């Protein structure tokens, strides 16, 4: 019964979303229609929430007569994973996509602010069509509430790799980010229809872009950390197609966050901002397609379903055709921007956008290239980390080299010499780091440059905060308290990029690893300490059994216990690893338990890793996300002041 | 596992004695795809075949092969797919040139657009600064 209610609610939501689209697009001249549009958008969102709640309910009940539950859940699963199982599969995650899109439509509908009525109702209308497109795809190509007859007794279980707290947060956050980019898309299309993209429009765009970017940042960071501790080899980024699929919209969203500032503050770059908004959503759909279709070999191969890929491509094609078509037709009619000099805040933001867009383009080409070669009859090739590290990393390096200059320059016409003078201490510190790293690493250039850049970003960000503090009056505490939130948010995000850079470079360039075979009682020297295997025992989890190894790690002056597991799920042929991680200031000591060694009785194969400063990667990402959150708060405050 | 791979697994060392050679082996391990897991390089895969492939890398290094020769060796055995580093040939030059070509096109667009006259909107004093 619950499943039927869900299916009915989803179908009704589709009808209402279509109505939202039609009313919204035609509401420009009549207030009553605009009001109706808003009410419809809210009803559609409520129905989507009901449908998704029904899906969670059938998962919690373990109602195996519903096909999705039977294929992805199991009676023995802990409750939290039954709930998360609702979005840990194709159908459920698509319904989540629709629900988020409808919710954003409802929020759009209830926050008109100072926007032009026509522009606003068209935005709500386009968002309704986006939701409708996603619902059509979901209900017809991957119905989440389809029944099974006869119903199985226990269900086949979730992929054990997915049974992890990160499953609860990682997919929904990424979807909030992906779908969040549908709102800038709707705003862009509405602006093209209306023939105007003014500063009020950019003001409406900014919070949505920031929110989408922040969600993507947190979602990607959690996914990266998940891979780091779950896959058992300490990898946190592998330029895997699906990682790239989330990185491309992230890069474009980052560009959009910056270009929207220029459009709002100065009225320039409006047409470029619109193009980015269209591209961002296109890449978000492409991302969903790459994850869901499995056309590319990837660690996310658990989500594959090639038959549905075509329909997803059709959606992508429709969205991009409408987007680019409207852009080509209407963008030339937008108002001409006001000017700026070659040295100014605007021009630095143009270079920022240039770098981020080029990086996104290179990632896109690299990700899709194997498909192109295969389609052209060139056979199977791989485009992996060696390509991306050699191309995207230097591009981002150049971007980071310019980054600290941006905030130091004023709008319209800036003074480069004064900016460079203020940043001189940061540059000196960066060069010092570079030289020291060169000397200490036996003249390895890449890590030295990377560390130097990281220091440059951090020191440059701090100097910017300091120059802003100096402008205030009174005691230091008073000056700090008076500093606008926007200064903190921007600096935090930029410094976070520096922190992440240092972590990433330290981890990739200076990690050490060792594979050993140990019998209980034996130890091995590693990373300045000694790791001893104490014992290996059998334990029983709620729906798995595991080998559990206990270790003692002796470090100068301290001794710590650590355990690692290898879990066997009856529902899956592949065991999973639960690594032991000892976090220290210099980085993580990371221990993974393997199989019993074939030819040495009683010995276990064990891998030890030392990942220097790896925590800075996740700390940096968190700082960037926090910068996004603070910036959202700052925008909210300003809106209140203006209202 | 075929007989040759079995023999290699028995004779070849798991770790090379020379740290420089072992470092070379590690970086090659990271570039070669495990043919069983397909999502992981052999450096990380725990599959038996990956263990054998790692030994194979070390055997080739011990035999004096260069990195390029070792890549070619794996490509001949398992196809292009096994190497995460795409080769440079008629199929891939467009890929390798993209990171240079894209910025070039972008720069052209930016400067062409600028010359069309957004700078004209500055006042004379502003232009002087």
SS3 per-residue string spanning A101-141: HHHHHHHHHHCCCCCCHHHHHHHHHHHHHHHHHHHHHHHHH
Q: What is the pLDDT of residue A642?
A: 63
Residue B88 lies in a domain: no
Residue range A536-593, pLDDT digits in tens? 999 998 888 999 999 999 988 889 999 999 988 887 777 888 899 999 889 999 999 9
Is the predicted pLDDT of residue A357 greater than 70, yes or no? yes
CB pairs under 8 A between A and B: 120
Instruction: State the Cα–Cα distance between residues A39 and A565, nearest whole angstrom.
Output: 53
Find, among B84, B70, B72, the residue nearest to B35 by Cα: B84
In this structure, are B75 and B116 located in the same domain?
Answer: no
pTM: 0.92
**Alpha helix ranges (H) inside A196-305:** 199-230, 241-266, 270-293
Average pLDDT for A256-284: 92
B38 band by pLDDT with thresholds 50, 70 and 90: low
Chain A residue numbers with beta carbons less than 8 Å from the beta carbon of B95 are 365-366, 369, 383, 387
In this structure, are B70 and B108 located in the same domain?
Answer: no
Contact between chains at B118 and A380 (C-beta distance less than 8 A): no
Q: What is the mean pLDDT of chain B?
A: 78
Give percent helix, percent strand, percent coil of chain A, each to the nearest 5: 65, 10, 20
When scoring A301, A348, A381 by the number of chain B Cβ atoms within 10 A, the one with the most, hence best to mutate, is A381
Q: What angle do CA A106, A110, A111 make, to 5 degrees?
A: 120
Does residue A66 contact residue A147 with C-beta atoms inside 8 Å? yes
Does residue A110 contact residue A94 with C-beta atoms inside 8 Å? no
In this structure, are B58 and B15 located in the same domain?
Answer: yes
Residue B105 lies in a domain: yes
Q: What is the pLDDT of residue A305?
A: 57
Percentage above 70 pLDDT, chain A: 95
Residue range B69-85, pLDDT digits in tens? 999 999 999 989 899 99
Is the predicted pLDDT of residue A638 greater than 70, yes or no? yes
Chain A residue numbers with beta carbons less than 8 Å from the beta carbon of B41 are 384
In this structure, are B56 and B77 located in the same domain?
Answer: yes
Is the predicted pLDDT of residue A21 greater than 90, yes or no? yes
Contact between chains at A361 and B95 (C-beta distance less than 8 A): no
Q: What is the pLDDT of residue A81?
A: 87
Q: What is the pLDDT of residue A374?
A: 83
Instruction: State the Cα–Cα distance between residues A350 and A162, nearest whole angstrom.
Output: 41
Give the chain B residue whose CA is nearest to the CA of A338: B121
Q: Across the interface, which of B31, B43, B126 has its CB nearest the CB of A386?
A: B31
Contact between chains at B87 and A381 (C-beta distance less than 8 A): yes
Give the chain A residue whose CA is nearest to the CA of B28: A386
ipTM: 0.84
For chain B, the C-alpha Rg in angstroms (whole number) is 24
Q: What is the mean pLDDT of chain A?
A: 89
* A151 DSSP 8-state letter: P
In this structure, are B105 and B76 located in the same domain?
Answer: no
Please name the residues in contact with A435: beta carbons below 8 A apart, sequence gap of 6 or more. Answer: A448
Give how far A593 is from chain B: nearest CA, Å. Answer: 11
Is the predicted pLDDT of residue A232 greater than 90, yes or no? no
Q: A545-555 and A558-568: which strand pairing?
A: antiparallel
Residue range B86-126, pLDDT digits in tens? 988 888 999 999 999 999 998 888 787 666 554 445 555 55
In this structure, are B25 and B71 located in the same domain?
Answer: yes
Q: What is the pLDDT of residue A85?
A: 87
Is the predicted pLDDT of residue A470 greater than 50, yes or no? yes
In this structure, are B48 and B76 located in the same domain?
Answer: yes
In this structure, are B14 and B66 located in the same domain?
Answer: yes
A307 band by pLDDT with thresholds 50, 70 and 90: low
Instruction: State the Cα–Cα distance between residues A449 and A456, nearest whole angstrom.
Output: 10
Q: Which domain holds residue B36?
A: 3-82
The total number of structural domains in chain B stands at: 2
Q: A523-526 and A529-540: which strand pairing?
A: antiparallel
Q: Who has greater pLDDT, A161 or A630?
A: A630
Contact between chains at A384 and B31 (C-beta distance less than 8 A): yes
In this structure, are B105 and B53 located in the same domain?
Answer: no
Is the predicted pLDDT of residue B2 greater than 80, yes or no? no
Give the chain B residue whose CA is nearest to the CA of A299: B39
Give how far B31 is from chain A: nearest CA, Å. Answer: 7
A247 band by pLDDT with thresholds 50, 70 and 90: very high
Chain B residue numbers with beta carbons less than 8 Å from the beta carbon of A574 are none
Q: Strand order in A604-612's β-sheet?
A: A512-518, A604-612, A587-596, A580-584
Q: What is the pLDDT of residue A12?
A: 97
Give how far A226 is from chain B: nearest CA, Å. Answer: 16
Q: Across the interface, which of A231, A232, A381 has its CB nearest the CB of B92?
A: A381
In this structure, are B98 and B71 located in the same domain?
Answer: no
In this structure, are B17 and B77 located in the same domain?
Answer: yes
Q: Provide the CATH number for the domain around residue B30.
A: 1.10.8.640
Does residue A198 contact residue A335 with C-beta atoms inside 8 Å? yes
């Amino acid at each position: 019964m619950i499943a039927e209610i869900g299916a009915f609610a989803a179908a009704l939501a589709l009808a209402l979303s279509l109505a939202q689209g039609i009313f919204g697009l035609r509401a420009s001249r009549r207030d009553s229609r605009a009001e109706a549009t808003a009410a419809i958008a809210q009803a559609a969102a409520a129905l989507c929430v009901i449908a998704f709640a029904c899906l969670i309910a059938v998962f919690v009940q373990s109602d195996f007569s519903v096909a999705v539950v039977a294929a992805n859940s199991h009676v023995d699963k802990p409750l939290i994973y039954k709930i998360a199982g609702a979005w840990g599969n194709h159908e459920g995650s698509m319904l989540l996509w629709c629900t988020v899109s409808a919710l954003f439509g409802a929020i759009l509908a209830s926050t008109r602010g100072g926007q032009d009525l026509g522009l606003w109702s068209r935005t709500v209308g386009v968002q309704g069509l986006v939701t409708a497109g996603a619902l059509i795809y979901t209900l017809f190509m991957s119905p989440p509430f389809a029944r099974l007859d006869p119903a199985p007794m226990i269900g086949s279980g979730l992929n054990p790799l997915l049974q992890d707290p990160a499953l609860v947060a990682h997919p929904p956050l990424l979807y909030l980010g992906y779908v969040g980019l549908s709102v800038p898309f709707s705003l862009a299309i509405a602006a093209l229809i209306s023939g105007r993209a003014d500063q009020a429009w950019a003001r409406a765009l900014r919070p949505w872009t920031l929110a989408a970017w922040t969600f993507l940042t947190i979602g990607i960071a959690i996914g990266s950390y998940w891979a780091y501790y779950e896959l058992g080899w300490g990898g946190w980024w592998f330029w895997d197609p699906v990682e790239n699929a989330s990185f491309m919209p992230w890069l474009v969203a980052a560009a959009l966050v910056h270009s929207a500032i220029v459009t709002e503050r100065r009225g320039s770059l409006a047409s470029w901002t619109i193009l980015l908004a269209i591209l961002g959503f296109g890449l978000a759909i492409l991302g969903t397609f790459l994850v869901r279709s499995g056309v590319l070999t990837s660690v996310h191969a658990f989500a594959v379903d090639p038959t549905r890929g075509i329909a997803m491509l059709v959606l992508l094609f429709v969205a991009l055709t409408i987007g680019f078509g409207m852009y080509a037709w209407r963008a030339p009619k937008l108002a001409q921007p006001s000017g700026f000099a070659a040295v100014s805040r605007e021009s630095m933001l143009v270079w920022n956008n240039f770098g981020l867009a080029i990086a996104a383009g290179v990632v896109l080409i690299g990700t899709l290239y194997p498909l192109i070669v295969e389609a052209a009859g060139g056979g199977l090739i791989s485009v992996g980390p060696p390509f991306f590290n050699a191309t995207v990393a230097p591009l981002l390096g150049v971007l980071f080299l310019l980054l600290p200059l941006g905030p130091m320059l004023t709008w319209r016409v800036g003074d480069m010499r004064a900016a460079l003078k203020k940043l001189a201490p940061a540059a000196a510190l960066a060069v010092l780091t570079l030289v020291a790293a060169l000397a200490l690493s036996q003249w390895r250039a890449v890590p030295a440059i990377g560390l130097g850049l990281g220091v440059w970003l951090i020191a440059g960000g701090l100097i910017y905060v300091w120059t802003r503090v100096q402008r205030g009056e009174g005691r230091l505490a008073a000056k700090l308290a008076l500093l606008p939130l926007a200064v903190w948010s921007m600096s935090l995000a930029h410094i976070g990029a520096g922190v992440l850079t240092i972590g990433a470079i330290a981890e990739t360039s200076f990690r050490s690893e060792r594979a050993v075979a140990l019998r209980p009682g034996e130890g091995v020297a590693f990373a300045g300490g000694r790791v001893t295997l104490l014992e290996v025992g059998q334990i029983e989890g709620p729906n798995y059994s595991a080998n559990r190894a206990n270790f003692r790690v002796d470090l100068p002056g301290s001794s710590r216990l650590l355990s690692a597991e290898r879990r066997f799920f009856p529902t899956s042929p592949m065991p999973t690893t639960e690594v032991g991680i000892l976090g220290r200031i210099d980085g993580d000591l990371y221990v993974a338990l393997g199989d019993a060694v074939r030819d040495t009785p009683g010995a276990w194969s064990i891998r030890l890793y030392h990942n220097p400063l790896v925590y800075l990667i996740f700390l940096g990402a968190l700082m960037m996300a926090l910068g996004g959150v603070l910036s959202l708060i700052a925008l909210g405050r300003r809106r209140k002041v203006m209202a | 596992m075929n007989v040759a791979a079995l023999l290699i697994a028995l004779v070849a060392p798991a770790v090379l004695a020379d740290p420089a050679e072992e470092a070379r082996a590690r970086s090659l391990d990271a570039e070669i795809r495990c043919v069983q897991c397909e999502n992981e390089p052999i450096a990380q895969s725990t599959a038996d075949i990956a263990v054998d492939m790692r030994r194979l890398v070390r055997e080739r290094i011990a035999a004096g092969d260069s990195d390029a020769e070792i890549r070619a060796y794996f490509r001949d055995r398992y196809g292009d797919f096994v190497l995460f580093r795409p080769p440079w040939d008629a199929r891939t030059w467009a890929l390798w040139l993209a990171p240079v070509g894209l910025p070039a096109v972008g720069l052209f667009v930016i400067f062409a657009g600028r010359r069309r006259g957004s700078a004209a909107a500055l006042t004379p004093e502003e232009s002087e600064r």
